[in-house]
Amino acid sequence: MTPSRRRLVGGLDLGGTKIQAVVLDGRRSVVAQARHPTPRKGGPDDILDALAATLAEACAEAGVETRELVGVGVGSPGVIDSRRGVVTGARNLPGKGAPIRMIAGLRKLSGVRAYLENDVTVGVMAEHALGAARGSNSLLGVWWGTGVGGGIVLNGKPWEGRGAAAELGHVVVKVGGARCTCGRRGCLEAYAGRGAMEIRARHLHRRGHKTELFKIMEKRGRERLQSGVWARALEQGDQMAIDLVDRAVEALGAGVASALNLLDVETVVIGGGLGTRLGDPYVERIREAIMPHLFADERPPAVRLVALGDLGGAMGAALLVPPSRPDRGSGAPRAPRRPARK
Amino acid sequence: MTPSRRRLVGGLDLGGTKIQAVVLDGRRSVVAQARHPTPRKGGPDDILDALAATLAEACAEAGVETRELVGVGVGSPGVIDSRRGVVTGARNLPGKGAPIRMIAGLRKLSGVRAYLENDVTVGVMAEHALGAARGSNSLLGVWWGTGVGGGIVLNGKPWEGRGAAAELGHVVVKVGGARCTCGRRGCLEAYAGRGAMEIRARHLHRRGHKTELFKIMEKRGRERLQSGVWARALEQGDQMAIDLVDRAVEALGAGVASALNLLDVETVVIGGGLGTRLGDPYVERIREAIMPHLFADERPPAVRLVALGDLGGAMGAALLVPPSRPDRGSGAPRAPRRPARK
């Protein structure tokens, strides 16, 4: 084993549709990667098998055995118990939220020490360490996707509160407002989450409002309004898509401004499926929607698109692995982390 | 000079209507206090004279000369530049926001080293160190008064961002909602600030809505709807007062819940003029208004009334003084702090 190999670490990003694996070297550069679809059937064991297989493929590309890695980090949706290494309540995965014994499972299947964290948190950590927020002391990550996830970095470290911080999607933007998928009223996610936007679009469509959204969806063989469907509809000038995205941007402006008025961070990074797909023009629109609500508006934070793209989550997960092989258990004790949806 | 005297520190709370001074001993107990009215005319020099006189009176009660104090901390409204020791933009004070050279001025008048911080921040620090949030690792202070001020303590230390954090009053609770005194729309303070509540009450009163609020105000010889006026009207069952306070409580519930969904702190402390005056029953009502919007509602934070009462601000200011006499300048360099209104 060469010295450089000794320092290789793995990262796994477990998403609702895909599993992304990376192998990073000691300089935190990606030396190999692999992507597999997330299993659609089965349960926790099938997820663990798929994670191990994706990691093994990336390791093969890097020319190492999985067990030669210093460790592997996993970014996961659901409620994270970093200490026990268990994920629960990840309802978009097969098994419908049944506990996934992530650290023990990967140890058994891959012979490698594993570290576990919330998927949005690791994505934000990657942008902080290696991406659009390099050098920022404080940071708010806005993961605009099916839901609206958040990640907070203060003094260079993730702030997780008692395990349920950074729930940006459930910041209230309208008292008595729209019903959120979480059951509460007026949450940011009720206006800006792609899931809530789709519910609203289907409701309006049923009531006779015209839109190309569902035709584009069907043409692509999809069952959901994925980010690419929204992007295409916007390109075609579809009025319903324009209106619903405008409403989402307005809500994002208010919710992110509220977070900034509380935290006054240096940098905001916009990511997530929809954020990444719509890209810089919409990052600029969100920035403009923040300004009317920003208290310290004479020196707004930088507002940037994520820089690491699809690999960010897996890269951030890899950063969970301590620089040198530790002698003790798998990760420091941490409080359970509730889900932050992408 | 006895050893115990050597460790006496002073604290000054500069408010819009009163100046409160305390002297604390080495065990952080109040050994003396004094209160003077804030000058209603003049400018920065008159404010400095009044601060020095109030401090001198408290020192006389403690049996020491002001210059024998280890130092004095000052909690002030306005934009705080801790490093330069200057307050600007405190528009409720005589001089209408003209710079007050606090540290240099007190040094000259009282011969004592001074330390400067935002008034809400020091009030929250006092509750954290000595009051209702003792032992909490993380804390949100809600100062419900003319405005809605906030204070954030994370990992036992105030979080001030780039100098403008904890602006709880300008968290957005309703996109496109009521106009705030800051000029923005939908801020928490536009619904819950005593100033905004008074504007709304005057507007409704002019339009013929019945209320006892202004009769109570006049009977007390006041020109403003002070907290005691609201409390009396509520006791009398005045419908306008009830409706406006209900509206404020609902907005506080949403705004504080948004902050909790982002920060997930252990403890919320409710203070400020109106919070303190209305007391525990309204703290309980705010707690109930938080719950429907709280994401991690299975383990809500403790929500408590401040414990230090009127002296909290001055006690918190005294805590700014380092435990032993430093050899260097007055306070560590810090970014300017924007106003957080009480």
List all residues 6 or more positions away from B325 whose beta carbon is below 8 Å from its beta carbon: B70, B71, B113
- Residue B342 to residue B167: CA distance in whole angstroms: 11
User: What is the structure's pLDDT at B17?
Assistant: 84
Give pLDDT tens digits for B204-234. Answer: 999 999 999 999 999 999 999 999 999 999 9
pLDDT beyond 50 at A309: yes
Tell me if A336 sits within 8 A of B299, measured CB to CB.
no
Q: What average pLDDT score do residues A25-52 get? A: 95
- What domains can you pick out in chain B, each with its CATH number? 3-122+311-318 (3.30.420.40), 134-307 (3.30.420.40)
Mean pLDDT computed over every residue of chain B: 92
User: HSE-up of B86 (CA within 13 Å, CB side)?
Assistant: 9
What are the DSSP calls for B109-136, one per residue?
HH---EEEEEHHHHHHHHHHHHSTTTT-
Q: What average pLDDT score do residues B136-143 get? A: 97
Using an 8 Å CB-CB cutoff, list chain B residues near A261: 164, 167-168, 170-171
Give pLDDT tens digits for A249-297. Answer: 999 999 999 999 999 999 999 999 999 999 999 999 999 999 999 999 9
Tell me if B316 sits within 8 A of B125, measured CB to CB.
yes
Using an 8 Å CB-CB cutoff, list chain A residues near B255: 172
- Residue A171 to residue A314: CA distance in whole angstroms: 27
Q: What average pLDDT score do residues B78-86 get? A: 89
pLDDT beyond 90 at B333: no
Q: What average pLDDT score do residues B112-120 get? A: 95
Residue A55 belongs to what H/E stretch? helix A44-62
**Residue of B170, B177, B264 with shortest CB distance to A295:** B170
User: What is the structure's pLDDT at B340?
Assistant: 47
User: What is the structure's pLDDT at B338?
Assistant: 53
Which residue has 């309204």 as its token pair?
Answer: B282
ipTM score assigned to the predicted complex: 0.90
- Residue B123 to residue B117: CA distance in whole angstroms: 10
Helix axes B44-62, B102-110, angle to 10 degrees: 50
Tokens read off for B181: 């005194």
Tokens read off for A113: 């020490």
- Residue A54 to residue A114: CA distance in whole angstroms: 15
Mutate to test the interface with A, among B137, B264, B297 (most CBs of A within 10 A): B264
- Residue B182 to residue B337: CA distance in whole angstroms: 17
Mutate to test the interface with B, among A167, A181, A262, A334 (most CBs of B within 10 A): A262
Residue A59 identity (one-letter amino acid): C
Give pLDDT tens digits for B5-34. Answer: 468 999 999 998 899 999 999 999 999 999
A152/B185 CB distance under 8 A: no
Tell me if A118 sits within 8 A of A80, measured CB to CB.
yes
Q: What is the largest CA-CA distance in chain B?
A: 65
Q: Of the given ranges (A80-89, B172-181, B310-319), which has the lowest mean pLDDT?
A: A80-89
B168/A262 CB distance under 8 A: yes
Which residue has 């009044």 as its token pair?
Answer: B50
Smallest CA-to-CA distance from A158 within A207, A124, A116, A202 is with A124
User: What is the structure's pLDDT at B158?
Assistant: 93
Q: What is the DSSP letter of A221?
A: T
B259/A262 CB distance under 8 A: yes
Confidence of residue B200 (pLDDT cuts 50, 70, 90): very high
pLDDT beyond 50 at B1: no
Using an 8 Å CB-CB cutoff, list chain B residues near A296: 162-164, 167, 338
> Which residues are bridge partners to A317 per DSSP?
none
Q: Of the given ranges (A91-100, A268-277, A333-342, B203-212), which has the lowest mean pLDDT?
A: A333-342
